[in-house]
Amino acid sequence: MAYITCDKITLRYEALTVLENLSFTVSQGDYLCIVGENGSGKSTLMKCLLGLKPVDGGKLTYGDGLKRNEIGYLPQQSQIQRSFPASVREVVLSGCLNGKGLHPFYTKAEKERAAEQMRCLNITELADRSYRELSGGQQQRVLLARALCATKKLLLLDEPLTGLDPLVATELYSILQHIHDAHGITVIMVTHDVECAVRHAQSILHVGKKESFFGSCAAYEKTPLGKRFLGDAVEPEHCENCVHEHAEVQHE
């Protein structure tokens, strides 16, 4: 059974229907990028995947042993979050709160897990630095370490590359690929960068008001929807690591 199954779901934002009759699955080991225009419902969908908002139609189910408090989440950063007055160690440790329940203190195991994630993200030397003093790329590494403290199964990222320069963004993509490949963590990422999405992900979920798509990167590139958003920017050989599978465009 898949980690997440969405069966013909409808999502509304206030009184407006933003997504309708959308179906897709996310299984263990997947690397899925969610793309689409502004206002297409990507953020609303993320809230549903996190269990923060119920679907307004259809059915969303969790399976394969996944619980909602086992999902690591890296949200979009606001200016207030960028100025958060805490040390790097404190920010990373706070990711362990996801599964603590009513226990008020961090355990030795949780502190060791936070230290492990800081080592993996190469930010150990920043542990005692103030989070708000870091560069944008360093802050994203800290938030990624925090999200990884919350999960060993599924990582959700909402526009993690926004505001980063191209070199730092490329580096973050490499880190995510390593986390997925070496640690077996399933990745779902919302991004506006469709070109990079098809180069790095295994599958694409394109959400839109008139049509949507769910399937492999290679299949997406061949659809009218994919061609319209990609143009000639990505050649098929650039996506050679993607999973080739049958996919179809879903018309709402």
Domain-wise residue ranges, the chain: 1-66+153-252, 77-152
Q: Does residue 165 have a pLDDT over 80?
A: yes
Asked if 187 and 32 touch (Cβ cutoff 8 Å), the reply is: yes
Report the pLDDT value the prediction gives residue 121, as an integer from 0 to 100.
92
Tens-place pLDDT, residues 140-159: 999 999 999 999 999 999 99
First to last CA, the chain: 26
Identify the CA nearest to 37 among candidates 187, 216, 190: 190
The answer on pLDDT for 107 being more than 50 is: yes
**Mean pLDDT over the full length of the chain:** 86
Give the tens place of pLDDT for each residue, 6-38: 999 999 988 889 999 999 999 999 999 999 988
pLDDT exceeds cutoff 70 at 251 = no
Residues 6 or more apart whose CB falls under 8 angstroms from that of 228 comprise none
d(CA 180, CA 121): 13
> For position 19, what pLDDT does the model report?
92
Question: Average pLDDT in the 233-244 region?
Answer: 40
Indicate if the pLDDT at residue 248 is higher than 80: no
Cβ neighbours around 161 below 10 Å, total? 22
The answer on pLDDT for 211 being more than 90 is no
Q: Which of 217, 207, 112, 121 is nearest to 160 (CA)?
A: 121
- pTM (two decimals): 0.85
Domain 1-66+153-252 has CATH 2.40.30.10: no
| Per-residue pLDDT at 42 | 92
Q: Which is more confidently placed, 64 or 240?
A: 64
User: Using one digit for the tens of pLDDT, what is the confidence trace for 63-100?
Assistant: 999 988 889 999 887 655 677 789 999 999 999 887 65
Tokens 């979050």 identify what position? 81
The reported pLDDT for the residue numbered 73 is 93
